[in-house]
Amino acid sequence: MEFEILIDNKNGNVWNIPSKDIEWKTSRIGQAGKLTLTIIKNAPDQEKAFQYNNGDVIRFRYKGINVFYGYVFSISTGKDESVKITAYDQLRYLMSNDTYVGKNVTATQVIKKFADDYKLKVGSLTDTSYKIPKLIEDNQMTMDIVCKSLDLTLIATIKNFVLYDDFGSLALKNINDMAVDIIIGDSSLMTDFTYDRSIDDDTFNRVKVYQDNKKTGKREVYIAQDSSNIAKWGRLQLLQKADDKMNSAQINELLNQLIKLKNRERKKLKLTAIGDLKIRAGSFIPVVIKELGIKKYYLVDECTHKWDGVDHTMSLDLKVI
């Protein structure tokens, strides 16, 4: 059986349900994995006791491969026989507001703390190592706090980590450990592409970091810039406040990291391709497109798998690293 979709009512009943219009979407940053599908109510072979409710557990396997484990959050029905069900994996429970106060903590420790608070199941969490000097957040979305800890780690170490739900267990990995050896391109899986280059989103060629010196009462300003890119693009400035405990060497290191990360065009590549479940948001995949002169690895920002009958396709939003 290619498709296995089970709904657990949490009352001792588990139902194997035929479905159509199946879509599984994952995002690399700040979103839970999402599964949508359509079932037919009152189907001839459907047991009379069958029911579906918000909060039910839903599990999806395809050709024996674990795809999705999550919980029903939305049920939409009308006059016809179609019922649309939307489910999310357990990252959805991090979409509520909370507070956090921590000093010298790693992003891994932040994730473990919230996982424990929200009773989430944890799998393999890589140690991000970098200790964030101070992280204080009040009445912020929990997922945003987690993402901020990962962003601060990226800025300080240039190491990029991805948090995701792996069939019911939280996983945290370095993107280098999520490389996939499946080439997507001209003669492999790809059916279409769009390619955008922009300096309109998160591109900065001048970085200004300031710190208020409590001893002198003066504001100290540190600047790093790329004059050649300023001449080409105009001045695009990022302003950021340094932590009070940072010294000059640490602030200059922060400047160098920020200008390295931000002083470049943002390139976005979108592909449609034949589906392969080895690829999800966070995957690091090789792409070859002769027309664009592309032959390099890209990071998958968003990945949507769709099933229409026996046809399995995927759309990928990619980011250059």
Residue 220 has pLDDT above 80, yes or no: yes
Domain end position, chosen among 262, 281, 302: 262
pLDDT above 70 coverage of the chain, percent: 98
Range of the domain at 217: 206-262
Do 218 and 101 have their domain in common? Answer: no
Domain end position, chosen among 63, 88, 113: 88
Of the ranges 44-58, 120-134, 286-300, which one carries the lowest mean pLDDT score? 44-58
The reported pLDDT for the residue numbered 267 is 84
Tally of structural domains, the chain: 4
Do 190 and 298 have their domain in common? Answer: yes
pLDDT higher at 90 or 16: 90
Do 158 and 101 have their domain in common? Answer: yes
Do 25 and 64 have their domain in common? Answer: yes
The reported pLDDT for the residue numbered 11 is 83
Residue 46 has pLDDT above 70, yes or no: no
Do 84 and 187 have their domain in common? Answer: no
pLDDT higher at 49 or 301: 301
Domain end position, chosen among 245, 262, 279: 262
* CATH code where residue 150 lies: 3.55.50.10
Do 67 and 185 have their domain in common? Answer: no
Do 142 and 41 have their domain in common? Answer: no
Residue 319 has pLDDT above 80, yes or no: yes
Residue range 195-212, pLDDT digits in tens: 998 999 899 999 999 999
DSSP collapsed to 3 states, the chain: CCEEEEEECCCCCEEECCCEEEEEEEECCCCCCEEEEEEECCCCCCCCCCCCCCCCEEEEEECCEEEEEEEEEEEEECCCCEEEEEEECHHHHHCCEEEEEEEEECHHHHHHHHHHHCCCCEEEECCCCCCEEEEEEEEEEHHHHHHHHHHHHHHHHCCCEEEEECCCCEEEEEHHHHECCCCEECCEEEEEEEEEEECCCCCCCEEEEEEEECCCCEEEEEEEECHHHHHHHCCCEEEEECCCCCCHHHHHHHHHHHHHHHCCCEEEEEEEEECCCCCCCCCEEEEEEHHHCEEEEEEEEEEEEEEECCEEEEEEEEEEC
Do 127 and 186 have their domain in common? Answer: no
> What's the chain's average pLDDT?
93
Do 21 and 139 have their domain in common? Answer: no
Do 98 and 156 have their domain in common? Answer: yes
Do 8 and 83 have their domain in common? Answer: yes
Do 186 and 270 have their domain in common? Answer: yes
Residue 245 has pLDDT above 90, yes or no: no
